[in-house]
Amino acid sequence: MADAVSHDAVSVIRAKRDRGELSDAQIDWVVAAYTAGEVADEQMSALAMAILLNGMTRRETARWTEAMIRSGERLDLSGALDRPTVDKHSTGGVGDKITLPLAPLVAACGAAVPQLSGRGLGHTGGTLDKLESIPGWRAQLTTAELLDVLRSAGCAICAAGEGLAPADRRLYALRDVTGTVESIPLIASSIMSKKIAEGASALVLDVKCGSGAFMKDLASARELAAAMVELGTDAGVRTRALITAMDAPLGRTAGNALEVREAVEVLAGGGPADVVELTLALAREMLDAAGLGDRDPADALASGAAMDHWRRMITAQGGDPDAPLPVARERHTLTADRAGVVTGLDAYAVGVAAWRLGAGRARKEDPVQSAAGIELHARPGDPVTPGTPLLTLHTDTPDRFPAALEALSDAYALSAPGAPYERAELVLDRLA
């Protein structure tokens, strides 16, 4: 590269290793050089570890994010649509199907929702994997197709294009295999580089906190949320964040087709109370950020308008909203062995079990089973007696049952029959 005379990877690594603050020029050079293949993976691994151990200032993180955005294209949707644009991002959890009813709900209230989503990895599910259980639906859209879907349906849920923040795609894969995923500056810049590059004018973040989330405690969730809100605000994107509980799975399903079915129930006016509550909370934040705070998303849910936008979106992306969803060939139900009140349900254990049943993947190239997953019959606060169904495992490959059941061995916590139970808050904090 032209700037290679004044910068080299070893000097940048040493600077951060020795707790120094990287200059704008150093950050610009190392991100561009790594994207171009001129900085080796082992050198970027060393730098990522130094960042994990020593952190980054707000200025460094903002510049790192800008450099990753500049590594590719940046969409501009403002002039192509006649409605305000707003997006939502979740940091990932178990049973988190909120995007599915949320995008058409916000579209029904007058915003355009360009929802660029990802695939599951490990115990957390992926929105694109869920939607691909709908026959014919496709995740890959060109920019022109994305705009067409947004104009016709008001919302689109699709994969990020190859041209958006390619530096992040390389660095994300590297962090995953070098033990450097946990760096908050690198998490924040990874998420926000793609979200800023996609061109929405407003963004709402759902930062999960708890056993089934990446951030296990409220302090670290707040730190991540604050970093991302700062990055969005500094880039001119109206950004706010909700920190939400992920100690227990959301809703009563974890798995691809199972979660689509539950999302459609929400759009039809039913569905689990926690899924409806969080969908409406995020919808209100998105509409307010988009300048449409006078619209009540509960009305659009009750009237069926959100369902209309869902059907239009699925159809516009090649799917059949009336087609039957896949059903697993094999099922196994786990029952309670004693009476009591469910006081805990470990989201992480449920996520691992669903992954082992085939709903998730260990590597990005692994296939997933659309019908695999877990149906939850008993959730925190529910009373049970001996023989009460707790959950049902779904898979096409029954030899997966033992490993899934092993993951679930301590998933449920029961108190004595009749013991009082106080439901935890779903929304833990808000940052703007």
Q: What is the pLDDT of residues 35-91, one digit of tens each?
A: 999 999 999 999 999 999 999 999 999 999 999 999 999 888 877 899 999 999 999
Structure pTM? 0.93
Residue 298: CB atoms within 10 A of its CB come to 14
Q: Which fold has domain 86-316?
A: Pyrimidine Nucleoside Phosphorylase; Chain A, domain 2 (3.40.1030)
**Which value, to the nearest 10 degrees, does the dihedral of the CA atoms of residues 417, 401, 332, 370 take?**
120
* Residues 2-55, CATH architecture: Up-down Bundle (1.20)
Q: Which residues of the chain have pLDDT under 70?
A: 1-6, 121-122, 364
Catalytic center residues: 89, 168, 175, 190, 194
In DSSP notation, 313-328 reads HHHHTT--TTSPPP--
Say what the pLDDT of residue 1 is: 43
Question: What CA–CA distances, in Å, run from 87 to 53, 78, 126, 321, 332?
Answer: 32, 13, 16, 23, 38
Domain ranges of the chain: 2-55, 86-316, 330-415
Say what the pLDDT of residue 5 is: 46
Q: Which CATH class is domain 330-415?
A: alpha beta
